[in-house]
């Protein structure tokens, strides 16, 4: 086989599935139910976005921001359906990395896996930094106290030297993950139920001040405003694919993974739309300002109730929301590295499973240290913003992968089939590209730098140590 042929050699689907669950030294344990898988994806998706995004999106669309959330949900649904089909066909831990390996070859799989590292590892570091900010805001509202800037902000922020709260939340999430997948899933379920309850509480408070007059004119900035806001709020839906990283720890993966992905997107969309309606009905859209903290949900709750305690509860919900995101996204990163290690593309240490705990302990600890350093000591800047483009790129590859696998292997058993094939995955890929095209040039530059580093790592390490390439040489 030529070197170019080896770059694009696919891994048989049957082999990927047969290797699922197996690591060096032990196996992952299948303990996660449909309920837990669904809440895993909800936990990864329903984060800080909804707590801050309205202040930025409402000025672009007015009350029609409600339609923006629906339009963004439809865009996410196209890719979610493709994820659902491939998760039900190739139910393993690698998520879109494994799907790309089965459909487009090793180089594309590596690129996809590298994008997922950007989405998971870097984004969870940025989210952990945000947790420290929300924790300070909560403490300030509760007791008029906040942590000193030197130990609660990252370098590059005002007076920051080390972000201890960001490191703390990563350590706590790691502690949960080391106790096992089922224990982590139960903790996440509690987190998700709390933050959904807090958001429903916000809606109940906001609806007490609901004024139909605030909804007219409904779309003052027209269709262009609705679509511009939709592009912005789309990133609040990223995370629905988290369940696909649990393919080797799900009890009934072929049935449950597709259902969990679609159900989680439905739950998140319902919550987002309800919160958006309550927000624009409780406050004139012209009073939402992107640069003002007054547009936050806690401020709206305080104004609606004429008191400060509702905002305190909403701030607490934001702290819990971010903790849940850190837990689920950190989990996803470890399982993707587990799959890549099994294929030889990253060091073997990432696939070692502790026989007693049945979790990849060394993998989890390495990722935790890396993320902690990023969150506590490194100014993330544009690299954190580039996580969005990396995610969209992975989404586009999944949509293409559905088409390729249907054509090549129509005989494979599928737990779910994308409706209106091939229109749905093709449209899903096109929508991902369109959203990517609207991102800032500096974001593309950061993404290009990240991909250059990734390709260097592949050709210096992964290509030579790949299990498929080693077999070819033999």
Q: What is the mean pLDDT of residues 204-233?
A: 91
State the Cα–Cα distance between residues 213 and 371, nearest whole angstrom. Answer: 47
Q: What is the pLDDT of residue 82?
A: 96
Contacts of 268 (CB under 8 A, 6+ apart): 42, 45, 46, 73, 237, 240
**Dihedral Cα 119, 120, 125, 129, nearest 10 deg:** 70
Residue with tokens 């047969």: 18
- Give the confidence band of 440 by pLDDT, cuts at 50, 70, 90: confident
State the Cα–Cα distance between residues 113 and 332, nearest whole angstrom. Answer: 12
How many of the other CB atoms lie within 10 Å of CB of 277? 19
Mean pLDDT, the chain, rounded, equals 88
State the Cα–Cα distance between residues 98 and 116, nearest whole angstrom. Answer: 11
Closest CA to 447 of 377, 401, 386: 386
Q: What is the pLDDT of residue 266?
A: 96
**Single pTM value for the model:** 0.91
Closest CA to 175 of 335, 357, 16, 339: 357
Q: What is the pLDDT of residue 211?
A: 93
CATH of 42-473, one of 1.20.1740.10, 1.10.10.10, 3.40.50.970, 1.20.1180.10: 1.20.1740.10
State the Cα–Cα distance between residues 255 and 462, nearest whole angstrom. Answer: 33
CB 131 within 8 A of CB 31: no
Looking at per-residue pLDDT, the higher value among 221 and 143 belongs to 221
State the Cα–Cα distance between residues 361 and 349, nearest whole angstrom. Answer: 9
- Residue 294 pLDDT exceeds 50: no
């Amino acid at each position: 086989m030529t070197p170019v042929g080896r770059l694009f050699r696919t891994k048989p689907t049957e082999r990927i599935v047969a290797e699922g669950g197996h690591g060096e030294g032990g196996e992952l344990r299948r303990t996660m139910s449909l309920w837990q898988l669904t809440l895993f994806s909800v936990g990864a998706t329903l984060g800080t976005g909804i707590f801050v995004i309205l202040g930025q999106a409402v000025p672009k669309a007015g009350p029609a921001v409600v339609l923006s959330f629906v339009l963004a949900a439809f865009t996410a649904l196209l890719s979610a359906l493709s994820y659902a089909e491939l998760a039900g066909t190739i139910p393993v831990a690698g998520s879109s990395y494994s799907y790309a390996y089965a459909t487009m070859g090793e180089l594309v799989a590596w690129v996809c896996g590298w994008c997922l590292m950007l989405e998971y590892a870097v984004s969870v570091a940025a989210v952990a930094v945000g947790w420290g900010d929300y924790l300070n805001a909560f403490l300030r509202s509760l007791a008029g106290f906040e942590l000193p800037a030197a130990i609660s902000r990252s370098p590059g922020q005002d007076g920051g030297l080390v972000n201890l709260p960001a490191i703390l939340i990563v350590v706590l999430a790691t502690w949960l993950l080391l106790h096992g997948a089922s224990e982590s899933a139960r903790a996440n379920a509690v987190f998700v139920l709390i933050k959904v309850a807090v958001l429903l509480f916000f809606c109940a408070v906001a609806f007490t001040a609901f004024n139909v007059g605030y909804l007219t004119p409904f779309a003052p900035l027209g269709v262009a405003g609705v679509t511009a806001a939709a592009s912005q709020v789309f990133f609040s839906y990223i995370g629905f694919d988290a369940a696909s990283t649990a393919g080797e720890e799900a009890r009934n993966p072929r049935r449950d993974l597709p259902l969990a992905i679609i159900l989680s997107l439905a739950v998140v969309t319902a919550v987002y739309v309800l919160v958006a309606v309550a927000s624009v009905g409780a406050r004139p859209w012209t009073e939402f300002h992107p640069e003002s903290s007054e547009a936050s949900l806690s401020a709206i709750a305080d104004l609606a109730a004429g008191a400060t305690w509702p905002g305190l509860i909403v701030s607490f919900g934001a702290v819990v929301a971010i903790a849940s995101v850190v837990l689920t996204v950190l989990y996803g990163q470890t399982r993707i590295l587990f799959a890549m290690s099994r294929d030889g593309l990253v060091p073997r240490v990432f696939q070692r499973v502790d026989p007693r705990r049945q979790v990849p302990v060394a993998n989890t600890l390495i990722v935790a240290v890396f993320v902690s350093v990023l969150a506590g000591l490194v100014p993330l800047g544009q690299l954190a913003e580039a996580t969005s483009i990396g995610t969209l790129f992975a989404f586009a590859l999944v949509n293409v992968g559905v088409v390729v696998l249907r054509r090549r292997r129509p005989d494979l058993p599928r737990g779910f089939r994308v409706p209106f094939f091939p229109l749905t995955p093709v449209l899903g890929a096109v929508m991902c590209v369109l959203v990517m095209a609207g991102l800032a040039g500096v974001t593309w530059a950061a993404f290009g730098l990240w991909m250059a580093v990734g390709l260097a790592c592949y050709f210096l390490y992964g290509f030579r140590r790949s299990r498929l390439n080693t077999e070819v040489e033999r």
